[in-house]
Amino acid sequence: MDNMDLFRRAASVLEEGHPVALVTVVATAGSTPGKVGYKMLVFGAGAIAGTVGGGLLEARMIEQARQMLDRPAVRLLRFEVGETPDDEKGICGGTVEFLLESFDPAALPLFRELGAAGDADEDAVLVSVLASDGPPQKMRLADVAHAGKHFPPEVVEAIRDVVVPGGAGARISAGGVEVFVESLAVPPTVILFGAGHVSSHIARLARSVHFRIVVCDDRAEYANRDRFPDADEIVVEDFGRVFDRLRIDDHSYLVVVTRGHKCDQVVLEQAVRTEARYIGMIGSRRKTAIVLQKLREKGIPRERLDRVYSPIGVSIGAVTAEEIALSIACELVKIRRLGDAAGIDHMSLPRGEGGL
């Protein structure tokens, strides 16, 4: 469950007239199970959604949050994580700080706005004031410049410096104010070209690790909501025209898994002309070499073709459709979090072969 899902869940609980508490990891040092930005929603007698790292600390946060549900309130809690295996608090060794906020139904407009942030075409930020008394002070800002209406100039400047689209968030102390700032940028999008068995498994796995999913195929009997219930968008279109219906930028991950070499080549020729963050094509090294050589002969520059990951996926010895999808999902996460670093073979047509 990503942050947008969590905010939507909070809105649905508030709509029913029930209070909710939101627990956020706002700072860590050393090794901790929960990382900055982790969130958990607490509501009702025993319901939770999300996680702040699990284990005994999470159980303690659940209990603390439940005690706050009777009224809107804010608490900041800091813990030392156990340093030895015999310490009942854990074995990680580090410190973690939590922001606990409880909300009554009056906060419904805020959570509706936050839940819809993923559908907005803007890089908004969420600012939470770190206070130890009074009700929560939490706001969504569509533009950092708007922060000047609420905070001193030092805070606004600090927000500009630390907010990274898709980042985990950062704690800021400036101008006598302390806040936690998070990006509400639209999550990166995996665009699947081809709606076969491997694609259906990729969609499920990629959605579970917080990518948006767009599925493209020229066959409505394959590209449909029954087969891809988790897709954010389904586009039924000829592969030669489908790019006209897509928005592709440096937050896009293009995965070419069509039903055959010809369709793969049609898609890949268009894909390499985009500024997508990632372009991967399923297939053997021999198939990849043939397809890329044909594109080179059509005048596509070497530097464009070198961007293609193929054979696609992290090498885990995958055999079944599910395993292949897992290897591809792992590669998508790797590129998102670590970039195009050593350790994964970035395959194009082998050097010295086919004139490349």
Check residue 354 and give its pLDDT. 37
Residue 62, CB-side half-sphere exposure with 13 Å CA sphere: 17
Choose which CATH entry (3.40.50.1370, 3.30.1360.120, 3.30.360.10, 3.40.50.720) describes domain 189-338.
Answer: 3.40.50.720
Give the pLDDT means over successive 10-residue stretches in the chain (356 positions): 85 96 92 86 88 89 94 92 50 82 96 77 79 85 72 79 68 85 84 97 92 95 93 94 93 95 95 96 91 93 93 92 96 89 47 37
Check residue 86 and give its pLDDT. 43
Task: Convert 51-84 to b/e letters by CB count within 10 Å (16 or more is b).
Answer: bbbebebbeebbebbbebbeebbbbeeebebbee
Please report, for the chain, the start and end positions of each structural domain, with discontinuous segments joined by +.
3-183, 189-338
Give me 70's structure tokens.
Answer: 């009777």
282's enclosing H/E stretch is none
Check residue 166 and give its pLDDT. 59
Check residue 220 and give its pLDDT. 95
Model-wide pTM > 0.75: no
Q: Round to whole Å and give the CA distance between 222 and 205.
A: 18
